[in-house]
Structure 1
Amino acid sequence: MMGERTVVQEELFYGFNLERHVPGDHLLRAIDRFVDLSDLRRHLAPYYSPIGRPSIDPELLIRMLIVGYCFGIRSERRLCEEVHLNLAYRWFCRLGLEGDVPDHSTFSKTRHGRFRESDLLRELFETVLRRCMAEGLVGGEGFAVNASLIVADAHRQRGVARTEDLPQAGRAVEEYLAVLDDAAFGAATPVPPKHLSPADPAARWTASWGGPAVYAYCTNYLIDVDHAVIADVEATTAVRQAEVGAARTMIDRTRERFDLWPERLIGDTGYGSAEMLNWLVHVRGIEPHIPVFDKSRRTDGTFSREDFTYDHDSDAYTCPGGKLLQNNRRSFTKPRSGVTKDDTRIYRASKSDCDACPLKPSCCPKEPARKIPRSIHEGARDMARDIAKTEAYATSRRQRKKVEMLFAHFKRILKLGRLRLRGPCGARDEFLLAATAQNLRKLAKICIAQSPMPAT
């Protein structure tokens, strides 16, 4: 028999408990245990006037942003609608059933103003990281570093060739001009970009991701490999030099603010330059579990540098024919360092030795004598090569995949394959909030699994 719903007269009063209608296993209920905003007002106090009409509660705005980035709600207009309708979102934002949701324009005004001036989002990220450390999720023994391209909010077919052709006003242009001397953006490389976007001039024109050229930024992660907790995040322009500089910045910042000093750093070949390896080994005392960036291997059938034996005591190479290659074959009145502008020393064989050598066709058939360049940081490179032969290095190669998985989560689950905010500050804001959301989800996943929440 077909059922029919009976019309019931509405009651005058309802007893509705919002706490009871949020499931005990909801992600926000787990995340709420680890969101500590107790210092928020103290941190923002210098940026608010003591008189005038009260503003929107900044804690509400932060909680709404956490909801948006945890659940991939990119539009602030849609975020306000979702918080208005979703009971779990209202519960997390402490709005109750009748609390008013702020207008979406409030986010833009506050984010471009007080939040950036006070660096609040960096403070929020570090507060969550301290909670990860308190829960024992950060070991500090091994770190992994990597970067990922994120497409900027700029049309790839609309660009100008010169800075002079940019519009003379606008926040994006002002931010671009402000970071021209910043090592993470304008000063990362002396090579000028081929195209500039009028909408976001600081975004770099690049095709290094293997697809068509786009305007993009890079998000750089430094993670602890124990539980893939993000220890630091940095926004840079999309060039390799900026990524290497960001790695140094993040390592130093985690040491200064959290006293975290890894024994080993895991990275790809992009971080295997001689200067970077020397900085890790001799300046910071960190083992580089990084492939050496080396172009010395020849492909024309002649001897490569690895076929020559270097002797530290005599500071000379021995060729396969048993002859010496030396850095200085004669003395000078004024001693010379023998170091080129590329930070290398050139070791040369004697022309008479090469002319009489039967191996010359396999060594230097087109040159009068063989030359071998050696970096002044070759000691650090040799150490990285020795580490690459160990079982610990093989383990590190597997652990490096954890940072790649975070980038996949960043783009597919949090839906951050393309930025919504423009300029270096916008990229920094989005990357900090995304990293904060990922650490909060990690806390909820691991700690709640270890100690299930009681049923409500």
Structure 2
Amino acid sequence: MLTINKDKSRREQIESVSIEQLVPHDHLVRKIESAINFDFIYDLVKDKYCLNNGRPSIDPVVLIKITIIQYMFGIKSMRQTIKEIQTNVAYRWFLGFGFSDTIPHFSTFSKNYERRFKGTDLFEQIFNKILQQAIEHGLVNMDAVFMDSTHIKASANKKKYEKVFVEEQTKTYKQALEEEINKDRQKHGLKPLDFTHEKVKLKEIKISTTDPDSGMINKNEKEHQFGYSAHIACDKNGIILSCITTPANVHDSMVFENLFNKTKKNAGKSKRAALDAGYKTPPICKLLMDEGIVPCMPYTRAQHKEGYFKKRQFVYDEYYDCYICPQGQILEYSTTNRKGYKEYKSDPKVCEKCEDLGRCTSSKNHTKIITRHVWEEYMEEVEYLRHTKECKELYKERSKTIERVFADLKEKHGMRVTMLRGIEKVHMQVLLTCTCFNMKKLANWIWKKGKGGPGKGKNLEVLLEFFSKVVLAIIKPHLSFIEKWGFVNNLKRAFARFSIFGVLLTFH
């Protein structure tokens, strides 16, 4: 029988209830509150507050917790976050507010950010504090590290931009590469190159007039739009170890060394590194192998013209430092250019008579040129490691680690789009989002480890452990008699529901 309840008088019913009673015992905010002590924030901000002058300020822990609520639950804006806190009992409980307490205005955090937090490393320190807690609890596994980047759509109109020429970004390994180039040239009896008066290279880019710090995304034929890139490193358990924010038009390989050093500083050095094809460059391979880290990188398609010989069809002779073409001709060393590539050239007199000339080169003077980077041996070693079982299995784990991290950050924590403008504010969002991600993992892990939270189930666990010792003390002297009469299987079935007893009875 259908029952229709039209009595709405319960809405005005007065009940005696506390806010503590209304928050479910397994709510995420309860897990976070029980797992993490936020008092460390006071030490981080004590030099940013005046002790004696002005009106009392809002508790800094409350300010940070408000942003944690926003990025933990993927709320789009601070204005909407405040509206959610006003009506959500669990959020009020997390902030320490009662039913009738006034929630801060949505502009409070932005004002405090401009006056106190802007230009500081406060959010970086908060991220590091949570990461250190995860390390102390044994949640971080540095057997392998996974690195990649993901795009964040900027709050900028893609049609409002201007084209400008800017200097190309200086590579972090520039000095080391220049030294290697001159060392190689001297080895072959050539004059060292002078890099001091090298011309500045310019490139044309699109600058947004709405958010000049953002960069135009143009990758894999996606829709052109302005955005940022979040470069992230995580471990095998999916814990984020470090993050760097750049405009979207900065290539992953340009940020790798900074991300690598930051990861090593935060969590230590890993044994292996699983990276995408964008990181497969000679400098990165050299950096990892010099550090004693095994690089695991995928196959990259050879860059060659259709219908022409591939580079791998030319055999490199390390002893004589030359290449041998498919027809047996030797390509001898010619020079080492400014980009760090050694050039090997064929004899045009021999090439013009070769029947495979049309498949080898389209050069007018019939000269085939093969280039080899001064750090090419590191690339060859990585290519060899790619075929090993260890690297194949590790690279497959990217889908369960770094790719899953990106999916959760975007779908659950609102990092697909940013409403903020300026790289400093966007980096703050990335740091806080990554902090919330680690915080949730840490809180859930501690909760499960404690069987329902701190203190939950501890008495039962101690009682079962004591009882199992008593049972074991009684059974052990009579083990031969029990085995003789076949009581062991009956005992196992009787205590199968208690994992501790099941383990104890496996001595049979």
- TM-score bracket for the superposition, by shorter chain length: 0.7 to 0.9
TM-score, structure 1 length as denominator?
A: 0.84
Q: Is the 8 A contact 1:303 1:362 kept in 2?
A: yes
Partner Cα separation in structure 1 for residue 64 and residue 260 of structure 2: 27
- Alpha carbons of structure 1 residues 182 and 132: separation in structure 2 relative to 1, 3 Å: farther
Which of 328, 344, 349 is the equivalent residue of 2:341? 344
* SS of residue paired to 1:114: helix
**Partner in structure 2 of residue 16 of structure 1:** 17
Q: Is the 8 A contact 1:34 1:131 kept in 2?
A: no
**Partner in structure 1 of residue 234 of structure 2:** 223
Q: Is the 8 A contact 2:233 2:263 kept in 1?
A: no
Shift of residue 219 of structure 1? 0.9
* SS of residue paired to 2:387: coil
- Alpha carbons of structure 1 residues 381 and 36: separation in structure 2 relative to 1, 3 Å: same
**Partner in structure 2 of residue 154 of structure 1:** 156
**Partner in structure 1 of residue 219 of structure 2:** 208
* SS of residue paired to 1:279: helix
Q: Deviations over 1:305-334 (max 9, x none)?
A: 111221222212222233322214xxxxxx
Q: Deviations over 1:368-392 (max 9, x none)?
A: 2322111111011001101111112
Shift of residue 6 of structure 1? 11
Shift of residue 183 of structure 1? 8.4
* SS of residue paired to 2:205: coil
Shift of residue 414 of structure 1? 1.8
**Partner in structure 1 of residue 47 of structure 2:** 46
**Partner in structure 2 of residue 123 of structure 1:** 125
TM-score, structure 2 length as denominator?
A: 0.76
**Partner in structure 2 of residue 370 of structure 1:** 368
Shift of residue 425 of structure 1? 0.8
Shift of residue 269 of structure 1? 1.1
- Alpha carbons of structure 1 residues 3 and 112: separation in structure 2 relative to 1, 3 Å: closer
Partner Cα separation in structure 1 for residue 410 and residue 119 of structure 2: 28
Shift of residue 426 of structure 1? 1.3
Shift of residue 191 of structure 1? 2.4
- Alpha carbons of structure 1 residues 368 and 148: separation in structure 2 relative to 1, 3 Å: same
- Alpha carbons of structure 1 residues 2 and 354: separation in structure 2 relative to 1, 3 Å: closer
Shift of residue 107 of structure 1? 1.0
- 1:422-441 superposed matches below 5 A: 422-441=421-440
**Partner in structure 1 of residue 394 of structure 2:** 396
Q: Deviations over 1:238-266 (max 9, x none)?
A: 1243x3233221211222243x1122221
Q: Is the 8 A contact 1:207 1:213 kept in 2?
A: yes
**Partner in structure 2 of residue 275 of structure 1:** 283
The answer as to 2:276 corresponding to 1:290 is: no
Partner Cα separation in structure 2 for residue 4 and residue 310 of structure 1: 86
The one-letter code of the counterpart of 1:447 is I
Shift of residue 291 of structure 1? 3.1
- 1:221-370 superposed matches below 5 A: 221-224=232-235, 226-241=236-251, 243-258=252-267, 260-282=268-290, 284-291=291-298, 295-300=302-307, 302-328=308-334, 338-355=335-352, 357-364=354-361, 366=363, 367-370=365-368
Shift of residue 223 of structure 1? 0.7
Task: From the CA coordinates, give the structure whose radius of gyration is larger.
Answer: 2
Partner Cα separation in structure 2 for residue 83 and residue 409 of structure 1: 23
Q: Is the 8 A contact 1:222 1:247 kept in 2?
A: no
Partner Cα separation in structure 2 for residue 180 and residue 326 of structure 1: 33
- Alpha carbons of structure 1 residues 387 and 11: separation in structure 2 relative to 1, 3 Å: closer
Q: Is the 8 A contact 2:164 2:204 kept in 1?
A: no
Which stretch shifts more, 207-216 or 358-367? 358-367
Q: Is the 8 A contact 1:351 1:368 kept in 2?
A: yes
| Same amino acid, percent of matched pairs | 24
**Partner in structure 2 of residue 80 of structure 1:** 82
The answer as to 2:111 corresponding to 1:109 is: yes
Q: Deviations over 1:45-99 (max 9, x none)?
A: 1111222222111100111111111111122122112212211111111123333
Which stretch shifts more, 406-415 or 125-134? 406-415
What RMSD, in angstroms, separates the aligned Cα atoms of the two structures?
3.0
The one-letter code of the counterpart of 2:430 is F
Partner Cα separation in structure 1 for residue 225 and residue 338 of structure 2: 34
